[in-house]
Amino acid sequence: MPSPPNDQSVAPVSVPGVPDAIVVGAMSILIRFLFFLPDRLLTLLFGRPPEVAAGLQPDAWATARFTGLVEQDPYEQSPSEARQALETLSGAAAAPESPPGESEDHRLDLDGRSLRARLFRPETAPERGPLLVYFQGGGFVVGSLESHDPACRWLAARSGVRVLSVEYRRAPENPFPAAADDAFDAWQAVKSDPDRFGADPDRIGVGGDSAGGNLAAVLCQDLKRLERPQPAFQFLLYPVTVVGGRGSSYADFGSGYFLTAQSMSWYTDNYLAGQDPDQPRVAPLLGKDLSGLAPAYVVTALADPLRDEGEIYATRLHEAGVPVRLDRMPLIHGWFNATGSRSSRKALDVVSGVVAAHLESQPVGSTG
C-alpha cells in the first residue's frame, strides 16, 4: 500500500553539472555534523517523520531527509562511482574513535581464487573463543573490508566475539553465483582451520548485513542441501531475502529513506545479469524447506524497503521450527555502518548482546 502524503517531505533534487564526488563529499561532512546535534534540535530542524515511519529516531530521520534531497538515478552511475560513494559515506558516518581491540588481515586461498579477510579480535577475547564469519552489505556490487571496518570493530568490541569480515567477489565483474560460491567456500575454509583464527570450532556463526545477510542465509540453506553441519548461529541484519521485496515496505520506504527501490533494481540487474531471480540461492525466502537451519537472529530497520522481506523470512524460520529472534530497530537501512550515530550505537549494543548470548561470549558494556 502506498505511503500517505507527507507534508514535511521535500522532493528529491538532481544536481546537474556538479560531479558526484563533490556532492558525496559535501554530504559526508554534513552527516558527520548532524550526528553531533542533540535530538531536540534535530526535531526542530527536520520535523517528525510521517505516520508510516512513526518512532524513527531523530538522527535517523534527519539522515533520511538529508540524503533524500540528493537522490539520483542509480542507472546513471558506474559501479566504481557507487563504490567510491559508499566508502566516503561510510567513513563519514563512522564514529571518530575506534573501540579497543586488534585487527589483522588474512587471505583465504580457495579453489582458483583468493579472498581478502580481516579478523577483528576484541580486547577481552580469550586465546580460543567464538567467531562470527561476516559478509558485508552493498547490493553485491559495492561494499568492502574498508567500508565495514568500523562497524565490524564495534561489533567485535561490544560482543566480545571475534569477527572475520570476508570480502567476496562483487558484480557486475563477477555476477551470481560468484558471491554465493565465495561465501560457501570461505565458510568451509574457516571450518577446516579454526585454529588460524583462534576459533572454538563449536562456536562459529555466520552473519551479514543486507546483501551479506542474503549470503549468510543462502549459506545455511546450501549447507542443509548438502547435508553438512550448520553454523552455530546465523545473524541476518536487514537481509535481502527476495528480489523485488515483499509486503508494503517497498512502497512505503522506496524513496526518501537512503536506500531506494530503484537502487535495489540497479543492484539486482548488476548481480543477476539476466539470470532467474526466483531461485533460492538468490532469494532464500523462496526456499521450500527451512527446517533444521541454524538458530537465527534477524534484525530489520523500521524505515527500510527491505524490512518486510526480512520479517517474513523470520516468520518462515519460526514456522519451520528454527529458533529465531526478530528485532526491528527504529532506524533506516545502513544503520550498522553509522557508528557515529547515537541511535545506531544503542542498536549495536542490543545486537552485540544477542550475538554474544548465541555464541556464549561475555558482552562488554554500553557504547553510549
Are residue 226 and residue 294 in the same domain, yes or no?
yes
Domain total of the chain: 2
Is 148 catalytic? The answer is no
Which residues form the domain of 56? 20-93
Are residue 157 and residue 267 in the same domain, yes or no?
yes
| Weakest mean pLDDT among 16-25, 95-104, 220-229 | 16-25
Are residue 41 and residue 108 in the same domain, yes or no?
no
- Which DSSP string do the residues of 141-197 spell out, in sequence order? TS--TTTTHHHHHHHHHHH--EEEEEE---TTTS-TTHHHHHHHHHHHHHHH-GGGG
Q: How many CB atoms are located within 10 Å of the residue 18 CB?
A: 11
What per-residue confidence (pLDDT) applies to 61? 97
Are residue 38 and residue 139 in the same domain, yes or no?
no
Last residue within a domain, chosen from 53, 72, 93: 93
Mean pLDDT of 225-237: 98
Whether 296 is covered by a domain: the verdict is yes
Are residue 172 and residue 48 in the same domain, yes or no?
no
Set 159, 222, 249, 333: catalytic member:
333
* 67 or 231, which is more confident: 231
Last residue within a domain, chosen from 47, 72, 93: 93
* 57 or 26, which is more confident: 57
Are residue 115 and residue 134 in the same domain, yes or no?
yes
Whether 233 is covered by a domain: the verdict is yes
What per-residue confidence (pLDDT) applies to 365? 62
- Which DSSP string do the residues of 37-106 spell out, in sequence order? S-HHHHHHHH-PPPGGGTT--HHHHHHHHHHHTT---GGGS-HHHHHHHHHHHHHHHS-SS--SEEEEEE
Are residue 195 and residue 68 in the same domain, yes or no?
no
Set 304, 341, 349, 361: catalytic member:
304
User: Is residue 9's pLDDT more than 70?
Assistant: no
Q: Give the C-alpha distances (Å, rounded to integers) separating 339 from 48, 120, 268, 367.
A: 22, 16, 27, 10
Binned at pLDDT 50, 70 and 90, residue 337 comes out as very high
Whether 364 is covered by a domain: the verdict is no
pLDDT, tens digit (0-9, with 9 covering 90-100), for 93-149: 999 899 999 999 999 999 999 999 999 999 988 999 999 999 999 999 999 999 999
Q: Which residues contact 147 (CB under 8 A, 6 or more apart)?
A: 86, 87, 90, 136, 138, 337
User: Is residue 7's pLDDT more than 60?
Assistant: no
Are residue 38 and residue 119 in the same domain, yes or no?
no
Whether 13 is covered by a domain: the verdict is no
Are residue 205 and residue 72 in the same domain, yes or no?
no
Mean pLDDT of 341-367: 89
Last residue within a domain, chosen from 77, 93, 109: 93
Is 304 catalytic? The answer is yes
User: Is residue 27's pLDDT more than 90?
Assistant: no
Set 90, 159, 165, 210: catalytic member:
210
Phi-psi map region of 238: left, alpha, beta (phi>0 left; psi -120 to 50 alpha): left
Are residue 25 and residue 114 in the same domain, yes or no?
no
Mean pLDDT of 345-361: 96
E-strand stretches of 196-283: 199-209, 234-237
3-state secondary structure of 120: strand
